[in-house]
Amino acid sequence: MLTKRIIPCLDVKDGRTVKGVNFLNLADVGDAVALGRKYAEDGADELVYLDISATFEGRRTFTQLVERVAAEIDIPFTVGGGIGTMEDAARLLDAGADKISINSAAIKNPELIDGIASKYGSQFVVVAIDARLTDEGVWLATTHGGRNMTDKELFSWAREAQERGAGEILFTSMNHDGTKKGYPCDTFARLADMLSIPIIASGGAGSVQDIADVLTAGRADAALAASIFHYNEIPIPVLKKALHEQGVNVRV
Amino acid sequence: MIAIIDYDTGNLRSVKNALHRLGAEFVVTSEHDVIRGAEKVLLPGVGEASAAMQKLRERGLDEVIPTLQVPVLGICIGMQLMCRHSEEGDAKCMGIFDTDVVRFFSERSLTDSMQTSSGSMLNSSGSMQTSSGPFLNSSDSMQTSSGPFQNPPSPTELNDLKIPHMGWNGIEELKTGLFDGVEDGAFVYYVHSFHALMCDEAIAVSHHGVDFCGALCKGNFYGTQFHPEKSGATGARILHNFLKL
């Protein structure tokens, strides 16, 4: 049976991971390749590298990093951050990325999904949706890390992304992101009912139970997290063992 | 020397990287003489089956590959092109493996899964003997056969199964030296929406609603539906084994 995936996300600026990491056994915690390799050895099922550089030079460095990750790490990885054109997609594919994640650019220009999916296949395109639950009880997609509200409603936008050729949906609740209080599982389950493509849950994990819940009650196919791994609050082997003991089908 | 066949179906980088990590020397080529002279041949590929097959034909590679005497490994779409036919784009393929490639949970995907499970579900005209619709909801009406997986998916299960089949899945019933040192149930990475129907040439079986060929072998020809180049230590072991064949 297909297993549920656990995916650490690494934020990269100017080619180096930025979040403080307290892995004592890594000489250079800013080395994004070494950290990725460590996660892979710990049992991560995939990796996500998110470029948060704001400069052209930073982007160029990120592409070089992608080449190194592809050369040195033998599990699949997704790259995201600032991908806005077909040329960006081509450059990262050539560098060796297995998938790219597009977010704000897809909202601005939904045809980008069609273009990338038809040229490189749906398996290459992850559409990331950062959505916020409004006071009126509507989930609306946001851009720029949640700062800008759009008029795109989560469920219809996710369905549109699937129809345009997205291979996966990465959904982050901006109401839960950073709270460590768990995921909105009912919203994830509703997404799973609607979509035929896999769903990656992001934002809100604070405990093993939160992740177990979103993979079972929330019916997500994968859980992505950053700080619980970076700060070693829940090491991946501990997480996977605990999930396995709870009957969640994971690769152990 | 190892030849990686280049027929313009996209990115070969991950296969090249994997061979680099194993310290193997290789060339990337579509030249017939180079391929014929290689000790091992790899046929990777991504994309759509009929288009990929067309690209092989344009280069005359569909004539060359089936005549090779050395170990040949098709990966993902490369393996599918070595089968008889694919439902993807209704593509006639090279016919090395005696099986067909179908879309997950297409009519043939489901009926074939029941047929191989029970061996007696189809009458002589090929239609189902049960009147309970396309899906069996009770496994006790089925004869069991060898193998760990028998039950066709229930409608509820089917509804929950995602296409593409993407992620890590176990491989069982492993055969041949390709899987030396790989344990039954080991996990490998898959990304695909079409699968090869079960057949005698299966050397690894995975399950996603239905049983399907995780890998195939016929003589010197091998194919893996999964991506050994993206399957961590297990995948590296399988590629290493192939290079030692």
pLDDT in tens, B137-195: 434 334 434 444 456 777 777 878 888 899 999 999 999 999 999 999 999 999 999 99
Of B10, B162, B169, nearest to A197 by CB-CB distance is B162
Q: Is residue B177 a part of any domain in this protein?
A: no
Average confidence (pLDDT) over B82-109? 96
Rounded Cα–Cα distance for residues A234 and A112 (Å): 36
Structural domains counted in chain B: 1
Minimal Cβ distance to A96: which of B10, B14, B160: B14
Is B206 in contact with B171 (CB distance < 8 Å)?
yes
Instruction: Answer whether residue B172 is part of any domain.
Output: no
Residue from the list B47, B162, B232 with its beta carbon closest to the beta carbon of A74: B232
Q: Tell me which residues of chain A have a pLDDT lower than 50.
A: 20, 23-24
Please report whether residue B156 resides in a domain.
no
Task: Look at residue B93 and tell me if it is in a domain.
Answer: yes
Q: Does B27 touch chain A (CB under 8 A)?
A: no
Test mutation, A38, A74, A168, chain B, max B CBs within 10 A = A74
Task: Give the residue carrying structure tokens 């040329």.
Answer: A87
pLDDT confidence bin for B66, thresholds 50/70/90: very high
Q: Which residues of A touch B21 (CB under 8 A)?
A: 71-72, 74
Q: What is the pLDDT, as a whole number, of residue A28? A: 65
Q: Residue B29 falls within a domain, yes or no?
A: yes
Say if A251 falls within a structural domain.
no
Q: What is the pLDDT of residue B116?
A: 61
B202-208 and A16-17 as β-strands: parallel, antiparallel, unpaired? unpaired
What is the percentage of chain A residues whose pLDDT exceeds 90?
A: 78
In a domain, B52, yes or no: yes
Cβ contacts of B209 on chain A, cutoff 8 Å? none
Higher pLDDT, A146 or B196: B196
Contact B191, B228 (CB under 8 A): no
Q: For residue range B11-57, list pLDDT tens digits in order.
A: 789 999 999 999 999 999 999 999 999 999 999 987 889 999 999 99
Q: What is the pLDDT of residue A57?
A: 84
Q: Is residue A250, in this structure, part of any structural domain at all?
A: no
pLDDT score for A227: 85
Beta-strand (E) ranges in A114-211?
Answer: 125-133, 139-143, 148-153, 168-173, 199-202
Q: How far apart are CA A171 and CA B59, in angstroms?
A: 43
- Which positions ≥6 away from B9 have C-beta within 8 Å? B44, B45, B46, B47, B51, B52, B55, B77
In the residue annotation, B227 being an active-site residue is answered as yes
Domain count, chain A: 1
Domain span including residue A232: 5-245
- Which CATH number goes with the domain that contains B61? 3.40.50.880
Contact A76 B47 (CB under 8 A): no
Q: Which of residues 47-76 of B touch A (CB under 8 A)?
A: 47
Across the interface, whether the CB atoms of B166 and A75 are under 8 A apart is answered no
Which position among B76, B83, B93, B217 bears the catalytic label? B76
A227 falls within a domain: yes
Range of the domain at B11: 2-103+213-244
B165 closest CB neighbour out of A2, A96, A219: A2
Residue A142 forms part of a structural domain: yes
Residue B236 with chain A: CB contacts under 8 Å: 74
Q: In Å, how far from its chain's centre is CA B91?
A: 15
Query: Does some domain include residue A252?
Result: no
- Is residue B183 part of the annotated active site? The answer reads no
CATH of the domain at A73: 3.20.20.70
Q: Active-site residue B199, yes or no?
A: no
pLDDT at A119: 87
Phi, psi dihedral angles at A152 (to 5 degrees): -85, 120
∠B96-B103-A247 over CA atoms, to 5°? 110
Asked whether residue A109 is assigned to any structural domain, the reply reads yes
